[in-house]
Each structure stands twice: as C-alpha cells, then as structure tokens.
Structure 1
Amino acid sequence: MTLGRRALLAAGLALPLAGAATAQAKAAWTRPAGIVPDASIALWPEGHLAVPPGLVESVVQRSDDPNASDRMLQGITRPRLDLFRPEKPNGAAVILAPGGGYRYVVVDKEGYELARWLKERGVTVYVLFYRLPGDGWPDRSNVPLADAQRAVRLVRSRAGVDGIDPARVAFGGFSAGGHVATSLLTRFDASAYAPVDAADALSARPDALAAFYPVVSMDPAIAHAVSREKLLGPDPDAARQALYSPEQQARTDMPPLFLLHAEDDDVVKVENSLRLHSAARAIGAPCEAHYFAEGGHGFGLMKTTGLPVAAWPDLYWNWLAARQIV
C-alpha cells in the first residue's frame, strides 16, 4: 500500500518528499502495529530557525518487509520530539537519539521500536529527530548538541503536562546518535545556543545516559569516517578533533553512563566505547559497560534473534532501575 499523508501525520512524519526519496518512500509497507507516536513536539519556537536554502525533509522506507518498517528521515528542517505516552506513567522519561551517520536519522529500529518497548513498561518516551550537521546549518558542529540540550530542557519544562519527574530524565543514543548522547554527557553545560525561552533556564544534564554502539571519538584511527566528516568537515585541526571527542572530555560530574557494543561491529569500532569506558574509569565516573562478541552494527531491537546480545534491553532496564530512573 502507498503511505499517504494522513498516515504520515499519524506517525508524526508528515513530510514533503522529493526526487529519488519519493520513489522509495512510496514502496509498499505496513507500519508495525502499535508504533504510532501520541504527539510531535517542535524543539524550537516557530520561526526561530533559519532553514538552509534548498533543504527539504524526506522520509525513505528502506525495508521491503511489510512487517518490519525501516524508515530514515533526511534533510531535517523541523527538529522535534515524537512523544510516546504510556497508559500508566511511572514518572520516568527517556529521550532517544537514533543513529544514521549524521546523514539521516533512523525512525523505527532505534527510535519507535524501543519507544514502544519502554512505553509498555510505563516510561514516557521522546524520540529526538535532531538537525544534521552536513545540511548547511550555521555552526554545523554544535547543531546536534544544541538540539540534544534543548530536548532535555524542553522535556523537563513539560514535566507537569506529561506526568514525568524532572529529576528522572534519561537520554540514550545509537551509533551517530550515540555521539549526540556522549557529547551531551560531557558538554551538557556548553554554550551550544543562545537561550530562547524559559525552558532554557533548566539543566540540560540528563540524570542517566546510555550509548549503544556509539560513535564517540573523532580520532581518525577509530572514528566513523562519515560521521566525522559530516560533523567537522574534511580537515579539522587537533583542537577541534579533541573538543568533539567525548572520551577526551570526560568529567567527574557527568551523568551515570551505560555502554553497549558488539566486538564484531565493522561500522563503528568497539574501541569507541572502550576508550570512553576507560576515560570514565580513570576519573571515577560511574559507568556500566556490556560488550558482546557478536551483533555487528545497528542491531537495535530488530536484529538480535538467536544472539546473546538479545539480552541488552533487560540489561538496560535493570541499569535504569539501579539508577532510580524507572
């Protein structure tokens, strides 16, 4: 079936489609049952962002399996939080930043799928569609961090509306979204943008933070080359490389950290997590890490069948409980 505008509106993805993206987006598919956000919340006040000329949002369906949607969002012009409200909120909030190599943001396998899993357990979930640094925005390298900081502040400002505890706000990121997360881990109080309203008086430090097979380092020896180029350009100097390498910015007051990585990841080297883990341990910052021999990259909830790494959601849940988030 063709994905119409009404269905996109229901999913918080009402987007203009153009060119090759249009053809792919019209591929036949069926949204997995139950994965529909309850609302879509703009990160920034209307008119605050000057969208780069020619930038157009598009949603592309990458899966031909009618029961396993795998969409990606490109050219993000309206950064936002897609909200999933549980029937019985337990007061916990989790913000999720899916991956995509800073070229796009994955919708389903690292966003809506985990949002559904957490929602079923009473967590209020916000899937973050952040701006992409290679899309022509000013101050490109700080654009994802600015959106992550704003997301945490905005969620806290909505505590009464959404029925959450502003002291139980966790953040999680996958792959390049893991770089968004780990940048927030170490630079939650950096001046990534000028305040725009009362929400910006609130803290952007999450109460707990998880990074799943994350891009972390900008060191060319282990960096994910595409993410590095999109974030920093083709030839960053040593100082910029260090600033945007969270393992070199570890601090004792950073949030408790959860790391997950497969050792056979051939896209983002496990050394990204190992270095950050080592940096946290060196300064005594709380960090729990899980490494699995198999799993590859980008497994999310959809690609773990038959592997020990399939246990990761329960490990993450238990960690959230130990941190008194859930």
Structure 2
Amino acid sequence: MSIDRRTLFVGALAATAALPVMARAATAPVIAPRDPAETVDLWPGTPPGAPAALPVERLEERSAVADRPDRIITGVARPRIVHFTPDRPNGAAVLIAPGGGYRQEAFDNSGYQVANWLITHGYHAFVLIYRLPGEGWADRANVPLADAQRAMRLIRQRAARHGIDAERVATMGFSAGGHVCSDLSTRFATRCYAVVDAADRLSARPFCAAPIYPVVSMDLAIAHPGSREKLLGPNPGAALEAAHSTDRTVTPQSPPHFLVHAEDDATVPVENSLRLRAALRAAGVSVDTHIFAEGGHGFGVSRIAGLPVAAWPELWLGWARRTGLA
C-alpha cells in the first residue's frame, strides 16, 4: 500500500494525540544549559587528507539574546566530539551532527541545545564537530562521514569508562548534519580512512538513527544546492550524486530510523525525507516518519513552541524506548 504525504501527516497527528498534555500543548522542552564534561579529538595529530594550509577555526555569534547563544563554526581543522553527561544515565548515548549546509556548523541550535535536552532524559550526548568538505580536504565528499565513523568508534572504545553500553550508541543529525547521520547509517562499513588504532576495529554502525529535516538527495530536483556544492564540488557527475544520496545507499543492514520534516520547509524540501523513507521501507528497515504541516527549517528543540513540530522530541523519546535504545 502506498502512503502519501497527507497520510503521513495524519499519522503524526494521531501519534501526537496520544502524548502527554504538555506535549500536546505544543511547548518546547525546558532546557537548562550545561557545560560539557570533556572534549575528545577524533584524530591523533593532523586529520587525514589535510590541505597544505589548514583551515583557521572561526566562531560567529548570530544571536542578539544574551542567554540564548546561536554560534556557528567554520574552519574546522580539529574535528572532535564534545561530551555532555547526564545526572541519571540510562546507559545509552547519542552522537549529534549539527547542521549548517556543509559550509558551517550551527553547534548551539542543532548541537549543544539538543545535547542538553538529551541529558535530562538520561542519555550521554556527544556533539560532533566535523570537518567541512569545502575547506580543502582530500576526498571531500567522504570527509564528514570519516569523522562520523571515527567518532562512533571512539565513543564505543571509551564506553566502559562512562558506563555506556557500547552497543546502544545512536545518531541524530539536523539538516546537513542529517545527511551526516543518514550517511553514517547507510555507509557505516565504507572504508573512508586508513586504520589509526584499536578503535578502528570497532563497528561504526549506529544502534538507531534520527535524521531531522535532513539533506538526503544530491538530485538537483530536490537537493539543497549549497550542501550539494560544498560536499560534491561544482560539477559532480551522476555517479558521484548517486554515491552520496543516502536514499540510494540504504541496505537491509541500515539501523532503524526516525524521520522528522515540516512540509513548509523552504530550505530542504520534504521530499528528501520521503525518498529516504521509501528506500528504508523497500530495504525492510524499520522507519518511524513524522511529517508536519508547519515548522519550517532549523527548528531544533528550541524553536518549536506553538508549532505542530513541538511534538517531535516526545515522539523521539517514545520511539527510542520502543526501539530498545533506552
């Protein structure tokens, strides 16, 4: 049976009706900012494929509200994971990939804020600061995936010291970070870099994946043009487009997925999530899909109050429990 967008939206509304009153009231989660516990570099020394002149890291603050930062980062020469720890850990962890069109990373809106929400529910949260593919790195199209693979393996290598079940490490990503998330979930076994140490003997396959308003396809008909150009370069051929369209790299071994998108997203068309959903279903991979009428793009967990998409955090928490992550 085929399922159109209207059916998906109705299904999301039905799921919302079953949520607690607070979620139905379309309020954003209360998120108390917290400092990270540690920062872990992904690579010993210079990352692989480095240009002769390394990018220079820069931070820019976009928010005019003193207690609500909205920083972006460019010039990532030191890819890393920033670890936030819960007070009451549930033994699971989530690797978070911020968005930013592959030209920058909005690590507050789709990174630190998400991490601070997750730790209130018992999850260890690791925000991935990944290399940007248009900043001179060799094999540019695989650079974000290489960082995501390495991050997943390092989390698993360090799991015991943090009381994390090394199997129960999920991934979540937003916009272009949603592409990082789904690329990791479909190409976790693709060799993107030479073995560095014992961590690279570990699996990079996530336990489950949540691409949120994700960039998925490199097909010009629905691609986010900026992400496509930064990832693939100015004139990619059809083979390169296909290799980095995650709806075309799904396999039966891909982990369960949770998808969220708003139909009024004017930046990344909702068809990206719909194509990924169709590919996952065709491969026999479990996928929970929530398409909302309103929400736009870049809503994260802090720009959702009063909108239908305000339901997504509670929906994810319920899905994570059903999937066995928590």
Name 2:19's counterpart in structure 1: none
Name 2:206's counterpart in structure 1: 206
Deviation digits for residues 228-270 of structure 1 (CA, Å, limit 9, x no counterpart)? 0001011111111100001111211101011000000000000
Aligned residues: 295
Give, in angstroms, the shift of residue 279 of structure 1: 1.0
Name 1:100's counterpart in structure 2: 100
Pair 1:111–1:49, CA change in 2 (3 A) = same
Name 2:325's counterpart in structure 1: 325
Task: Work out whether 1:153 is the aligned partner of 2:175.
Answer: no
SS of the aligned residue for 2:134 comes to: helix
Name 2:77's counterpart in structure 1: 77
| Structure 2: 5+ residue stretches without partners | 1-30
Give, in angstroms, the shift of residue 68 of structure 1: 1.6
Name 1:277's counterpart in structure 2: 277
Name 2:64's counterpart in structure 1: 64
> What amino acid does structure 2 have at the position aligned with 1:282?
A
Deviation beyond 6 Å, 4+ runs, structure 1: none
> What amino acid does structure 2 have at the position aligned with 1:85?
T
Alignment of 1:227-238 (within 5 A): 227-238=227-238
Give, in angstroms, the shift of residue 120 of structure 1: 1.2
SS of the aligned residue for 2:303 comes to: coil
Deviates more, 1:53-62 or 1:221-230: 53-62
Alignment of 1:281-300 (within 5 A): 281-300=281-300
Name 2:121's counterpart in structure 1: 121
Give, in angstroms, the shift of residue 47 of structure 1: 3.7
Q: Taking every aligned residue pair, what percent have the same amino acid on both sides? A: 54
> What amino acid does structure 1 have at the position aligned with 2:287?
C
Which of the pair has the greater relative contact order for Cα pairs under 8 Å at 6+ separation?
2
Name 2:37's counterpart in structure 1: 38
SS of the aligned residue for 1:73 comes to: strand
Name 2:258's counterpart in structure 1: 258
Instruction: Quote the Cα distance in structure 2 between the aligned partners of 1:43 and 1:89.
Output: 24
The answer to whether the Cα contact below 8 Å between 1:35 and 1:113 also exists between their aligned partners in 2 is: no
Instruction: Quote the Cα distance in structure 2 between the aligned partners of 1:274 and 1:138.
Output: 31
The answer to whether the Cα contact below 8 Å between 1:60 and 1:71 also exists between their aligned partners in 2 is: yes
> What amino acid does structure 1 have at the position aligned with 2:39?
S
Instruction: Quote the Cα distance in structure 1 between the aligned partners of 2:47 and 2:234.
Output: 29
SS of the aligned residue for 1:211 comes to: strand
> What amino acid does structure 2 have at the position aligned with 1:72?
I
Instruction: Quote the Cα distance in structure 1 between the aligned partners of 2:262 and 2:239.
Output: 30
The answer to whether the Cα contact below 8 Å between 2:50 and 2:138 also exists between their aligned partners in 1 is: no
Give, in angstroms, the shift of residue 163 of structure 1: 1.2
Name 2:301's counterpart in structure 1: 301
The answer to whether the Cα contact below 8 Å between 2:47 and 2:78 also exists between their aligned partners in 1 is: no
| Structure 1: 5+ residue stretches without partners | 1-31
Deviates more, 1:304-313 or 1:43-52: 43-52
Q: Compute the TM-score of the two structures, normalised by the length of structure 1.
A: 0.88
> What amino acid does structure 2 have at the position aligned with 1:193?
Y
Name 2:165's counterpart in structure 1: 165
Q: Compute the TM-score of the two structures, normalised by the length of structure 2.
A: 0.88
Instruction: Quote the Cα distance in structure 2 between the aligned partners of 1:33 and 1:114.
Output: 11
Instruction: Quote the Cα distance in structure 1 between the aligned partners of 2:80 and 2:44.
Output: 11
